[in-house]
Structure 1
């Protein structure tokens, strides 16, 4: 979109079809210039042929007929051919000026299209970065919710077993607790601790393995050195 003011009516949209249309117009103008050059050569050839014919006939005809005279006192055919030559040259200059304008406009549209393409690419990159950021935030939120649900799943399950609803004669609903409500804490607390321990073990499993494997390797190497020291034979006397 290009324009001079903020009003949308003053803006004009451009696309690749406009560039192709200008290229087609440029080709047509180039063909027109070739046709004008060819026409100018033809008219010039006619003038030369007529000059030769007039010089050849000049020796035979001593007095020219008035019908061949123009208002300027020149031969009417030569005058008409020169007029057409001037007209063709002027038309060719206008075609060259129009061709230059079309080429400049096509170059401008190419620059605008390249700039628009770069702007669209920047917008797409910004949108992708925004989506990636949102996805990371959603993943972090889902991870937190999963951890929270894993910790609270045991208590949520058993809490429903010790709570029930009671309807009073007036129609109101009340929440009642079972007499063995203490079983809720006796069951949920160990399960919660076990869940947290399993989750921590799973998260730190690789760190524990990296910590234990070097210890085992050092213990084996120490036992091997001790064994080698024990089996070393004493030197025989010379």
Structure 2
């Protein structure tokens, strides 16, 4: 690490003071204010089964694991075997080990809580002086129903210097970053084939105490990243002979990129299939022989929207990986004060290759996004055209209906004209019909020389007059809405029309508030006519359509 710049204020000339200041700033970072609130969903609850897997390497290169806190195991370690840490005291035993790797697991799946409790995690942070900003990456994990955070925080890198010396040859560092990757779940029961996953990495290299600390969050057992970690730990021995720490960073980034190519290919195939379906759709035309007869609708737009969201999330994740790789390249270069040796040159070349590969994936994703947007635009245009075509068909059908109605109207007009003529003829002959009917009765007799009218002739008019008045009265009553309402109510109350869907008052309409029927049942009463609705209400009631009458509640 280079000496502190002379341009800094005098109170920051001492690098140890500057380191304390940076640590205090990291501790009070605004991004960590939500950590306590999120911790209830991130970690296992107290009292449950909480643990952290740990693997330790000794000076002879044998990979040793932390055993349970038992007296016989405190000074001896089992090689190539992983044990769990469940208490803070187990962490204290590892403070002087040259290299320790901690694995924080998921309890069930990638959307579940992490295995340690909040107290055990805090003990890990305090025991090994982990940078507080590592909590930013841990906040991306925890209990959730759906993944929304597709971009982890940017890589955090801090140079370390021994607090007791200003010897720059004993330069150390710590870094933390997160990576997103996809896993192929296979086509199981029609579920989504791919799932987005993540893991976070923390590394602390302190040459002053010959120690290297690793923390891995969210790496599942027997996965590719964990195999790289275990292989790296088995190859590392002492701090002077161990493998360059950036080798593992390169391996982890390469492992996170291993499935992106096939995921992009799958997305491309799905986009192409959907695009072909839309492009070859037979819109508003008769089917042509040899041409597929597709039926596109709004569900196609929904599928394109889901594909577009997946591609946008892909761009975010690839951009985050590019940022992480670029930061590691920059910091690896800054750590090399002397000309790069072969190992560091190989590492830098490897990081550049991974960054270029990720850039290529990102370019593919951007092109794929443009194709999806083009297909969405075409689909929107086709749906609009299909709607316009449907409206045109409806307009044509409406025009045909209008023509038919016009023909029917003309025919009805002609029929009404004929009926009018018949009515006029009937009216013209009505007096003669009445007179002839009267003279054909027994009240009138015609002799050879004289016309004799019976003295009882008035009986004819006495019977005909009331019958005519009664006929007119019956016609008037049966055509009124009051008669319809009362008759329907009576029929329903008597149970004769139980299945008729009709909305009637819950009480007798004759007793309803605001309606009074004359005791004489005179249907021509003006008081009754003022209380009922027009005849449209009766028709609506016959059709089962609810309606309301003034002063009567609908039951």
Into which bin does the TM-score normalised by the smaller protein fall? Answer: 0.5 to 0.7
User: Any conservation in 1 of the 2:308–2:372 contact (CA below 8 Å)?
Assistant: yes
1:141 corresponds to 2:420: no
Shift in Å, 1:143: 2.0
Distance 1:3 1:132, change over 3 A: closer
| Whole-angstrom CA distance in 1 between matches of 2:404 and 2:372 | 47
Which residue does 2:305 correspond to in 1?
23
1:31-69 Cα offsets, whole Å, 9 max, x none, are 21122111101110011111122x14x49xx9x6xxx64
Which residue does 2:421 correspond to in 1?
151
Unaligned runs of 5+ in 1: 159-238
1:131-161 Cα offsets, whole Å, 9 max, x none, are 1111111111122123223434667xx9xxx
Which residue does 1:45 correspond to in 2?
327
Q: 1:2 aligns with which of 281, 285, 288?
A: 281
- More deviation, 135-144/9-18: 9-18
| Whole-angstrom CA distance in 1 between matches of 2:334 and 2:289 | 67
Shift in Å, 1:2: 2.0
User: Any conservation in 1 of the 2:282–2:295 contact (CA below 8 Å)?
Assistant: no
User: Any conservation in 1 of the 2:308–2:369 contact (CA below 8 Å)?
Assistant: yes
1:91 corresponds to 2:361: yes
1:115 corresponds to 2:385: yes
1:81 corresponds to 2:363: no
User: Any conservation in 1 of the 2:282–2:292 contact (CA below 8 Å)?
Assistant: yes
User: Any conservation in 1 of the 2:318–2:362 contact (CA below 8 Å)?
Assistant: yes
Distance 1:3 1:151, change over 3 A: closer
Shift in Å, 1:9: 6.0
User: Any conservation in 1 of the 2:329–2:351 contact (CA below 8 Å)?
Assistant: yes
Unaligned runs of 5+ in 2: 1-279, 430-555
| Whole-angstrom CA distance in 2 between matches of 1:7 and 1:19 | 27
- How many residues are matched? 145
SS in 1 for 2:356: helix
- More deviation, 10-19/74-83: 74-83
TM-score normalised by the chain length of structure 2 = 0.24
1:192-207 to structure 2, matched below 5 A, reads none
Distance 1:13 1:49, change over 3 A: same
Distance 1:3 1:126, change over 3 A: closer
| Whole-angstrom CA distance in 2 between matches of 1:109 and 1:17 | 11
1:3-53 Cα offsets, whole Å, 9 max, x none, are 497137612221122123212322221221122111101110011111122
| Whole-angstrom CA distance in 2 between matches of 1:126 and 1:34 | 50
1:161-180 to structure 2, matched below 5 A, reads none
Which residue does 2:375 correspond to in 1?
105
| Whole-angstrom CA distance in 1 between matches of 2:295 and 2:369 | 23
| Whole-angstrom CA distance in 1 between matches of 2:282 and 2:417 | 55
| Whole-angstrom CA distance in 1 between matches of 2:405 and 2:320 | 68
Shift in Å, 1:79: 2.4
| Whole-angstrom CA distance in 2 between matches of 1:142 and 1:3 | 43
SS in 1 for 2:281: coil
More helix by share: 1
SS in 1 for 2:294: coil
Q: 2:398 aligns with which of 120, 125, 128?
A: 128
1:67-104 Cα offsets, whole Å, 9 max, x none, are x64xxxx6332222112111101101111111111111
| Whole-angstrom CA distance in 2 between matches of 1:149 and 1:7 | 56
SS in 2 for 1:49: helix
